[in-house]
Amino acid sequence: MTRAEPGAARTADRLIALGFEPVIAPLLAIRPIPQAAPDLTGVAALAFTSANGVAAFAALTLDRTLPVFTVGDATAQAARTAGFARVQSASGDLDSLAALLTARGPEVGRLLVPGALEPAGDLPALLRGRVEARGLPLYEAVETGAAAPDAFDAVLVHSARAGRALGALGPFAGQAAIALSAPAAQPLGDRSGLEIRFARTPDETALLAALGNPPRRV
């Protein structure tokens, strides 16, 4: 498990339920960027591309009145848990969210995209000329410098940042990397030595399904 906490622990619980033995070794840590509560004047809606963005925004302001659009269902659930009542999920990737927002363009109005200092994708750029949107960096993902475990069968790669950190620890031999998407696996390249497999859709349920069955221990 290379993803940052608290997501790593949640994923580990799902792996245990499936019969796997998770080893949590986060390669990234999420650090909030200190700042005042965001000025929401003129903002008509929020777009979140991760649960980390939801958590960072919710920690800065008690305002839960704006409608929310999310990249996937897990992020949508995080928004509902944080207290947002009007939440719509694109149930896909960044392109899916951009398509949803474009289709809803006249209704969306001015959009705020709270997220990472270095996001995996540029949603405002995808929406340029169609929906007025601006990013708001609320947190950064920093490499922990952790070493890879001595022995593992497979590693889950949730993001390109994690893929880049993992690739720096290789080469590996005989292990598989299960990637959430092609961009997440791209930094690994051919020199990592990992057998790279992909989730059928960019969500964690598909990521875990791509693992297959737990290995038999003798």
Q: What is the pLDDT of residue 40?
A: 95
Q: How far does Cα 164 stand from its chain's mean position? A: 15
Q: Within 10 A of 37 (CB to CB), how many other CB atoms are there?
A: 11
DSSP state of 55: H
**What is the model's pLDDT at position 77?**
94
Q: pLDDT at position 111, please? A: 94
Report the pLDDT value the prediction gives residue 58, as an integer from 0 to 100.
96
Are the beta carbons of 33 and 139 closer than 8 angstroms? yes
Q: C-alpha distances in angstroms, 148 versus 12, 75, 211, 214?
A: 16, 28, 19, 20
- Per run of 10 residues, the mean pLDDT along the chain (length 218 residues) is 84 92 89 94 94 95 96 93 96 91 80 91 91 94 81 87 85 87 82 86 87 68
Query: What is 95-113 written as a DSSP string?
Result: HHHHHHHHHTHHHH-SEEE
- Please name which of 20, 29, 32 lies closest in space to residue 146, comparing C-alpha atoms: 29
What's the pTM? 0.80
Distance in angstroms (rounded) separating the CA atoms of residues 201 and 7: 19
Residue 207 burial (C-beta neighbours within 10 Å; 0-12, 13-18, 19+): buried
